[in-house]
Amino acid sequence: MMRSYLYVPADEEQRLGKAASRGADAIIADLEDSVAPSRKGVATDNTARWLAGESGALVAERWVRVNHGEPGLADIAAVFGRGLTGICLPKVSSGAEVRRASELLDALEQRSGVPAQTTLLMPLIESATGLQALSDIAGAPRVQKLQIGELDLAADLGLEPGEDEAELAPLRSSVVVASVASGLLPPVGAVSPEFRDLDLLATSTRRLQRAGFLGRVAIHPAQLDVIHRCFAASPDEVAAARALVERYDTAMADGSGVILGEDGRMVDEAVVRRSRRIIGLAITTERGESQ
3-class state of residue 268 by DSSP:
coil
**88-107 residue pLDDT tens:** 999 999 999 999 999 999 99
- Between 289 and 257, the higher pLDDT residue: 257
Nearest to 189 by CA among 228, 237, 133, 238: 228
In this predicted structure, the answer to whether residue 144 has a pLDDT above a threshold of 80 is: yes
The secondary element (H helix, E strand) that includes residue 142 is none
Cα 123 from Cα 137, distance rounded (Å): 8
Cα 48 from Cα 69, distance rounded (Å): 20
**100-135 residue pLDDT tens:** 999 999 999 999 999 999 999 999 999 999 999 999
What pLDDT, on the 0 to 100 scale, is given for residue 253? 78
Average pLDDT, rounded, for the chain: 89
In this predicted structure, the answer to whether residue 177 has a pLDDT above a threshold of 70 is: yes
Least confident of 14-28, 109-123, 184-198, 229-243: 229-243
Radius of gyration of the chain measured on its C-alpha atoms: 20
What pLDDT, on the 0 to 100 scale, is given for residue 75? 98
What pLDDT, on the 0 to 100 scale, is given for residue 258? 66
In this predicted structure, the answer to whether residue 286 has a pLDDT above a threshold of 80 is: no
User: Helices (DSSP H) in the chain: which residue ranges?
Assistant: 13-18, 40-52, 70-79, 95-112, 128-132, 134-138, 150-157, 169-181, 198-211, 224-230, 235-253, 269-290
In this predicted structure, the answer to whether residue 255 has a pLDDT above a threshold of 90 is: no
What pLDDT, on the 0 to 100 scale, is given for residue 235? 67
Domains of the chain by residue range: 4-230, 235-290
Nearest to 224 by CA among 51, 58, 36, 67: 58
Whole-prediction pTM: 0.85
In this predicted structure, the answer to whether residue 224 has a pLDDT above a threshold of 90 is: yes
What pLDDT, on the 0 to 100 scale, is given for residue 266? 63
What pLDDT, on the 0 to 100 scale, is given for residue 11? 97
What would the mean pLDDT of 6-25 be, rounded to a whole number? 94
Q: Above pLDDT 70, what percent of the chain?
A: 87
Query: Looking at the domain covering 4-230, what would its CATH class be?
Result: alpha beta
Which residues, at least 6 apart from 138, have a Cβ–Cβ distance to it below 8 Å? 146, 178, 179, 181, 182, 184
In this predicted structure, the answer to whether residue 287 has a pLDDT above a threshold of 60 is: no
Going by pLDDT thresholds of 50, 70 and 90, the confidence category of residue 40 is very high
For residue 222, give the DSSP letter: G
What pLDDT, on the 0 to 100 scale, is given for residue 187? 97
- Between 239 and 219, the higher pLDDT residue: 219
Least confident of 51-60, 141-150, 259-268: 259-268
In this predicted structure, the answer to whether residue 65 has a pLDDT above a threshold of 80 is: yes
Going by pLDDT thresholds of 50, 70 and 90, the confidence category of residue 246 is confident
Cα 56 from Cα 149, distance rounded (Å): 25
Going by pLDDT thresholds of 50, 70 and 90, the confidence category of residue 252 is confident
In this predicted structure, the answer to whether residue 290 has a pLDDT above a threshold of 80 is: no
